[in-house]
Amino acid sequence: MQGLSDIFQTMKYVTVTEASRILDVSVDTIRRWSKLGLLRCTRNEYNVRIFDLEEIERVHRKHEKPVMGDKPRFKVLESPITDYTSLELFAGAGGTALGMHNAGFQHVMLNEFDKNACATLRKNMPSWNVVEGDIHELDFSAYNGKVDFLQGGVPCQAFSYAGLSRGFEDARGTLFFEFARAVKQVSPKVIMMENVRGLLTHDHGRTIVTMLSILDDIGYRLAVKVLHAQFLDVAQKRERLVLIGVRKDLDMPILYPYENGDVLTLWDAIGNCPASAGMEYSPTKKKILELVPPGGYWRDLPENLQREYLKGSFNLPGGKTGMARRLAWNEPSLTLTCAPAQKQTERCHPEETRPLTVREYARIQSFPDDWEFEGSLASKYRQIGNAVPCNLAYHVGRAVIAMLSGENQDAFMKVHPIDVQHATAEEIKQYALSMN
C-alpha cells in the first residue's frame, strides 16, 4: 500500500470503493468491516458511506500484522479500590458488578432473581452482599445517603401509554419502575442504567422518552450514549445503551469513556484459552459447518446445501448472516447470545467445527479465567451471554469515579445533559448516536 498522503494529498475522506483499493480488500469486505465496527465510517450530505483517511491508516496498520503469529492479549482491567460505594440491581452473573469492582467501587448490595446467577456471585465473591429474590419485595430505604452510585441493566418492558400522565406511577408493574423506585429511595449521587441499543426505538421511541422523563422528575440530569465494546478492550462486537444521571443538586459533569481504536480480535481473547465444557453439534450440522470458511456463513455453501440447511428461510428476505456462521480469528466475535449454537445466530469456532466453549464465551465477555459459573451448561451460557462485558463496565466505572472525585476528568468525554422536557424520541436517538 502506498502512503495515503501520496494517493490523496487533498482528500480527508474516501468512499467504499477507494477504501477497498487502498486496503487491497474487496468492497464486500469493507462493508462487512464497517458493519462489524472494525472500520468506522460517517455519511456525507448524500447519505453515502465515507471513511476518514486516519481511520483507513489505523485499519491498515492493524491488518498488516500476522494475527496468528501474535501473542494473545487477553486481560481483565483493574484499578485500586476506592471509598466510593455502589448498589447494583439485576446483577446477573456479575459482568457489570465485577467491572465496577475492578474500577474501584465497593458494592454494598447486589440484587438478582436467578438462583444460579446468585450462586455464581457468591461462589466468586463471598464478601459481596448478594440479596437473592424478587425486586418487587425489596425496600431500599436503608441505603438512603449511603450509596454514591446505583446501577443496573433493566430488562426492557413495554409501558401502557394510554392516557399517560402520571409519570412515575404510570410505570408501576414494570421492572423499570422498580429501578426508578430504588433510585427514589436511595437518592444516590450518580445512576447508570444499561440496555440494548434497540431501547432507543422500542415502541417508536416512547419507552426511552418515558424513562428519561421519570428519572428527570425524580431529580436527575441525564445523558445516553451507545457504547461499542470492541473499542473498549472487549473482543466482541456488542453495543450497549448506557444512561448516566447526576443528581440535580450536585455540580458534577457527566462523563463517558472515550472509545479507542485498538480493536481486540478473537485470537486476542481465546487464542490461549483454557479448556472447558461446551456444547456439541449434531453430526449433520457439523458436516455442514465443516464446509464454511473462517468469517463465512451459509452463502459460502453450495446452493443445494444452502437450501437444505436454511429450509423455509432460504426464500425469506434479509441477509440471514448469522446462519451457519463461523467466526474469524482476525476479527472480534459477533455479539454473544444466550446459546452458542442457535441456528439464527451461529457462533462456530474459527478453526475447529464446534460451538464456543463456556470458557471461550467468558473470555470474549472479558471475565477472568478464575470466575466460575454455577448451574447447568445451558444456564452457564445464558448467564455469560446476558452479561455486560467486564471491561466495558470497567471503563464506565472509571468515568463515574472521575465524576465523583473530580480527578482525571480530562481523560473522559464530557457530555451535555438531554433537555428531557423538550427532546423528541428522534432527537434522543440522534443524541445517543452522535457522541461517538
Residues with pLDDT less than 50, the chain: 1-2, 4-5, 7-8, 65-66, 160-167, 436
pTM of structure:
0.85
pLDDT at 344: 84
State which amino acid sits at residue 293: P
Which residue shows C-alpha cell 430505604? Answer: 141
Mean pLDDT for the chain? Answer: 88
pLDDT at 109: 98
**What confidence tens digit (pLDDT) does each residue in 205-217 have?**
888 998 999 999 9
**What confidence tens digit (pLDDT) does each residue in 130-186 have?**
999 999 999 999 999 999 999 999 876 555 443 344 445 555 558 899 999 999 999
Dihedrals phi, psi of 85, to nearest 5 degrees: -105, 155
Domains of the chain in sequence order: 4-64 (1.10.1660.10), 85-262+389-434 (3.40.50.150), 276-386 (3.90.120.10)
**Cβ atoms within 10 A of the Cβ of 415, count?**
16
pLDDT at 345: 86
Active site residues: 156
pLDDT at 1: 45
Q: Report the distance separating Cα 264 and Cα 333, nearest Å.
A: 9
Q: Report the distance separating Cα 304 and Cα 48, nearest Å.
A: 36
Spatial strand order of the sheet with 85-89 comes to: 130-132, 106-112, 85-89, 149-152, 190-195, 239-247, 220-228
pLDDT at 125: 98
